[in-house]
């Protein structure tokens, strides 16, 4: 479904409970996410949403800006070594590792350290991610054949990987419970533990009364949802920038002016206006995911087509975002299409023609997290380096599943910028638990909250 009026109606009706999240994607998500926030329905979803959304408060986001900067700095060191050696780099896999390191620390205070090490847990995460991606596009649910998981080497690997991840999550939950029991901090609505500002710590400190299984499902959901999508956004952003040197120059000028040689802070986010528009435009051209699924709760008619109760409809965000009926120069990468002094584009102020984080009550609650994450990474990387498609690299083509990937990676030549700024140190300002963080609704990137995902509903 790609007709704008129909899509707009379905999302507006979604607010009125005519349409809910589609169940088809549950076929591949529930095996890894259980009853986490994305696959959950009904009362379970409402309860988990009310519990998880408060964890994404402003002080948590401020703490995450420091995390984004430190993780990106590790990537910068890796790229600096490649530039010294004259080696081309495959950026898609590096972005995937960057966002895995970030989400591990942000959600459950676990350092995957995947940018520098290949460990069993990192391989397990990618085994599960690949399986989820494959199941999302498989025409036959072969994994539902009872004997298949016992005889298929691939399914045995998936089961072993899931067990390893779940065991580690159970250990992290137990460790965090002990920390919460021993700490003397008083819980409040903007509670942050400076040693462990993770979402897991917030949930346990809040007295969230759920089973370890439910908590593990929530953590796994956030791990999957907040990892590959952000990596895909960065991959396609750098691909688009490689073809538009004038955009890169304008972007670098802003970053140099705003950041100088510092790490980004929460206060810088509303100043990095052009960097934000670059991410906005990248999400328009390469939405993650490219398709949303909704299920009808009652008989309806969409665009003249009868929709029966219980039927799923597929909403092509890709076609919506590239429709010449809705966008001037729809296929062109133009960050300037949104004024720098205007509001951050979202589904409501763009009248549902722009759905980078879905829409309705189950809109991604991680929209601000994901936006800040990608803006920080973008700003720090273009400040230090210039990026070009490597000579002899395979054509950059795409393959589509739950997100949009390249078919053969994004191989780039990375060079240090001429007269680069001083490399920032890791002497980060510590988060003051009593400090006030002021983010008004008009600030760039501050979105509406709905559901944890960048695998959006």
Q: Which two tokens stand for residue 348?
A: 């409501």
CA distance 104 to 49: 20
> Residues 6 or more apart from 241 whose CB is under 8 A from it?
247, 248, 251, 278, 382, 387
Q: Which two tokens stand for residue 276?
A: 């934000």
Longest dimension (CA), the chain: 64
CA distance 371 to 306: 37
Select from 416, 89, 378 the least CA-distant residue to 247: 378
CA distance 121 to 220: 13
Handedness of CA 200, 203, 206, 212 (dihedral sign): negative
Select from 228, 240, 181 the least CA-distant residue to 389: 240
How many helices and strands (H and E) does the chain possess?
Answer: 15, 10
Q: How many CB atoms lie under 10 A from the CB of residue 314?
A: 13
- For 357-383, letters b (16+ CB in 10 Å) and e give bbbbbbbbbbbbbbbbbbbbbbbbbbb
Q: Give Cα 404 to chain centroid, integer Å.
A: 13
CA distance 247 to 243: 9
DSSP code, position 53 = G
> Residues 6 or more apart from 365 whose CB is under 8 A from it?
49, 52, 53, 56, 449, 450, 451, 452, 453
Say what angle helices 153-182 and 120-137 make with each other, to 10 degrees: 120
CA distance 236 to 286: 7
- For 332-344, letters b (16+ CB in 10 Å) and e give ebbbebbeeeeeb
| 176 annotated binding-site participant | no
Numbered residues of the known binding site: 364
- Residues flagged as binding site for heme: 364
């Amino acid at each position: 479904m790609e007709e704008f009026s129909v899509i707009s109606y379905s999302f507006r009706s979604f607010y009125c409970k005519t349409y809910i999240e589609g169940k088809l994607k549950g076929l591949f998500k529930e095996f890894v996410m259980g009853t986490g926030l994305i696959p959950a329905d009904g009362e379970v979803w409402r309860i988990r949403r009310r519990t998880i959304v408060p964890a994404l408060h402003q002080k948590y986001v401020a703490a995450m800006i420091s995390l984004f900067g430190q993780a990106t700095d590790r990537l910068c060191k890796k790229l600096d070594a490649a530039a010294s050696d004259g080696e081309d780099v495959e950026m898609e896999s590096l972005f995937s590792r960057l966002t895995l390191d970030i989400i591990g620390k942000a959600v459950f205070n676990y350092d995957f350290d995947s940018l520098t090490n290949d460990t069993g847990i990192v391989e397990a995460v990618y085994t599960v991610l690949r399986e989820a991606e494959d199941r999302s596009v498989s025409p036959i649910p072969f994994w539902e054949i009872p004997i298949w998981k016992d005889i298929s080497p691939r399914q045995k690997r998936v089961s072993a990987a899931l067990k390893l991840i779940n065991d580690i999550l159970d250990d992290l939950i137990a460790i965090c419970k002990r920390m919460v029991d021993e700490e003397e901090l008083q819980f409040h609505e903007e509670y942050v533990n400076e040693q462990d500002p993770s979402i897991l710590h917030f949930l346990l400190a809040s007295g969230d009364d759920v089973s370890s299984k439910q908590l593990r499902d929530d953590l796994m959901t956030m791990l999957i949802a907040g990892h590959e999508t952000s990596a895909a956004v960065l991959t396609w952003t750098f691909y688009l920038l490689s073809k538009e040197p004038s955009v890169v120059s304008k972007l670098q000028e802003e970053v140099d002016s705003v950041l100088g040689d510092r790490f980004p802070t929460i206060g810088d986010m509303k100043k990095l206006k052009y960097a934000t528009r670059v991410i906005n435009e990248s999400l328009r051209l390469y939405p993650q995911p490219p398709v949303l699924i909704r299920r009808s709760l009652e008989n309806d008619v969409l665009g003249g087509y009868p929709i029966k109760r219980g039927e799923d409809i597929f909403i092509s965000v890709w076609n919506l975002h590239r429709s010449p009926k809705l966008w001037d120069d729809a296929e062109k990468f133009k960050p300037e299409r949104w004024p720098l002094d205007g509001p951050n584009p979202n589904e409501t102020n763009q009248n549902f023609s722009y759905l980078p984080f879905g829409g309705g009550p189950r809109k991604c609650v991680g929209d601000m997290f994901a936006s800040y994450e990608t803006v920080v990474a973008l700003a720090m990387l273009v400040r230090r380096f210039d990026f070009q498609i490597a000579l002899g690299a395979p054509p950059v083509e795409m393959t589509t599943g739950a997100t949009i990937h390249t078919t053969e990676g994004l191989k780039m030549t990375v060079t240090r910028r001429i007269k680069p700024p001083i490399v920032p140190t890791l002497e980060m300002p510590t988060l003051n638990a009593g400090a006030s963080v002021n983010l008004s609704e008009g600030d760039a990137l501050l979105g509406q909250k709905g559901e944890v995902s960048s695998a959006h509903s």
